[in-house]
Amino acid sequence: MSNSQNRKSAAVPQSRVSRLARMGSLAGRIAGNVVLEGGRHLVQGKKPVISDLLLTPKNLHQVADKLSTMRGAAMKMGQLLSMDSGSLLPDELSSILERLRSDAVTMPMSQLVMVLERHWGQDWNERFSRFSFEPLAAASIGQVHEATCTQGRHLAIKVQYPGVRQSIDSDIDNVYSLLRMTGLIPKTLDLQPILDEARQQLKQEADYLAEGAHLDAYRQHVQSFKRNADLVIPRFHADLSTTEILTMDYVAGDSLDALRSKSAEKRTDIMSLIFSLFFAELFDFKCVQTDPNLANYLYQADQHKLVLLDFGAVRVFNPDFVQKYQNAMCAAVKQDRQALDTALHNLGFFQNGMKVANREVVLDIFMMAAEPLRYNGDYDFGQSDLAKRIQARGLSVSGDPDAWHTPPPDVLFLHRKMAGLYLMAARLNASVNVHALFANYLNNQQE
C-alpha cells in the first residue's frame, strides 16, 4: 500500500453502469487524441502509423489515471498485467502499469462514512475512542485507517472501496476490451488464463473475512518456522470485521525501503529471512503469500524485525504440485535440461504441442531464473542483470499465436512470488546466499 503523503481523493464509482461509462469516456478521449495526433502527422507530411498514434504519453497517462481513480479490479488488473506479462507488453504500457502498483486515490470522507455506516450501523463511532479519517495507506481494493476502540485496542482497519466486489467481472472485461481496442495489448497475446486467475484472485482478496481466516491460519503455520521470533504478524479482530472491513492490530514500523540506509549485514539478514520464509511457505506450509510487494512489509529497526501485513493473496498448494515444482527447481539448479523438460511437462507446461522454438525459450528462462539458487555463495541482486537477460530471452519467442502458452495458474503465482523477491532484493541492494537456504530445506526433507 502507498503512504498518505501527497495522495489525491476522489469518489469511487460504484455501479457497473458508472464504471463502464468511465471506460467509455476514456476510449473516446483516446480516439480523439489519435485523430488530433494523426492530423498533426499529415500536416507535417508524415504518414500516420496507428501504433505511434496510440502509444503516446498522453494516451498512456490517461489510461493509468483512469484505472487509479476507478480502483478495484480495473486498477488491480493493470498491476497483474505489469507483473505477469511485463516482458511481453510494449515498454510504454509496462511503465505506466508499473505506476499502478503504488498509485491509488483515496475515498473522500463522506464516502468512507457511508461504507462504515452500512457495515457497522449509524452509531459505529460509539465503538471507538479515536478514529483517524486520514488513511495510513491506500491500494487497489481498500484503504487503511488507524483507530483505538473503547476497550483500548490499537487497530488498523482496512476499508474496501464501495462497489469493488460487485464489479470485478465487468471491470476485468471492460479494461481488457479497452486495452485490446486501443492496441496496447498485442493481438496475438492470449491473456485469457491470466484474466481468469485475476477474477478468482480478486474475488478472494475482496473477501476480508477470508483474508482474516488466512491470517489466523498463517500465524499457526509460522509457529514452526525457525526464525519465527524475527517476524511480527498482526492479530485479526473478527468482532470488528466484515466481508468489506478488515480489522487487525496496529503495528508500527518503517517502510522496507528504510533498510536501504542500513548496513549490508542488516539488509542481507532481512532478505535472507524473507527467502527462508518463502521456502518454508512452499515446502512446509504449502501456503504462500503470493504478493511480495514492498508495501506488504514493515521493518522495525529497533528490534530488527520484519512485519507481515497483507494476507489477501495467500494461495494454498497441494503436496503433489509442490513436489513437481521442487523437481523442476532441482533440475534447473543442476542445469539438467532433460530433467527440467520432463518436470515442466509434468507441471502442465508444453500443452497443445508447443512449438520447439518456444519450448527451448521456456527452458532457457526457467534455467536462468534459478541462477540465484544455483550460485554457490552470496548472490549480489543489486549488481545482477538477470531480469534484463530473462526479458531479452523472452522477447525472442515465436510471434505465432499458436505457439503461445500460459503456465498453469499455480506456476504463474509462484513465478510472481519469486520474481517479486528478486526485485525486492535488488531494490534493497542485498547479497543473499539463496543456494544455501534452498539446500537447507532440501536436506531437512531428506532427514
Instruction: Give CA–CA dist 105/22, Å, rounded.
Output: 15
Burial of 384 (C-beta count, 10 Å sphere; 0-12/13-18/19+): middle
Query: Picking from 24-38, 205-219, 233-247, 430-444, which range would have the lowest pLDDT averaged per residue?
Result: 24-38
Pick the CATH number of 108-160+207-251 from 3.30.200, 2.30.30, 3.80.10, 2.160.10: 3.30.200
**Three cell numbers written together for 187:** 493481438
Contact present, 243 and 207 (Cβ < 8 Å)? yes
Per-residue pLDDT, 6: 47
Q: Decide if pLDDT at 99 tops 90.
A: no
Going by their DSSP bridges, the two strands 297-300 and 142-149 should be labelled as unpaired
Express each pLDDT in 143-195 by its tens digit. 999 999 999 999 999 999 888 777 777 777 766 776 666 555 556 556 676 67
Confidence of residue 337 (pLDDT cuts 50, 70, 90): very high
Query: Picking from 287-296, 298-307, 361-370, which range would have the lowest pLDDT averaged per residue?
Result: 287-296
- Give the residue with greater pLDDT, 91 vs 230: 230
Going by their DSSP bridges, the two strands 254-255 and 379-380 should be labelled as unpaired
Instruction: Give CA–CA dist 333/366, Å, rounded.
Output: 10
For residue 33, what are the CA distances in angstroms to 79, 133, 182, 358? 25, 38, 11, 37
Contact present, 210 and 421 (Cβ < 8 Å)? no
**Where, residue-wise, is CATH 3.30.200 in the chain?**
108-160+207-251
CA nearest 142: which of 153, 157, 127? Answer: 157
Q: Considering 207, 291, 310, 410, which one is annotated as catalytic?
A: 291
**Three cell numbers written together for 263:** 548496513
Confidence of residue 54 (pLDDT cuts 50, 70, 90): very low
Q: Decide if pLDDT at 70 tops 50.
A: no
Q: Tell me, what DSSP letter sits at residue 407? A: P
Instruction: Give CA–CA dist 305/269, Å, rounded.
Output: 10
Instruction: Give CA–CA dist 397/394, Å, rounded.
Output: 6
- Give the residue with greater pLDDT, 33 vs 155: 155
- Angle of helix 409-427 relative to helix 192-205, nearest 10 degrees, comes to 70
Q: Is 160 helix (H, G, I), strand (E, B) or coil?
A: strand
Per-range mean pLDDT, top range of 107-111, 137-141, 246-250, 362-366: 246-250
pTM above 0.75, yes or no: yes
Instruction: Give CA–CA dist 299/255, Å, rounded.
Output: 6
For residue 291, indicate whether it is catalytic. yes
List beta partners, residue 204. Answer: none
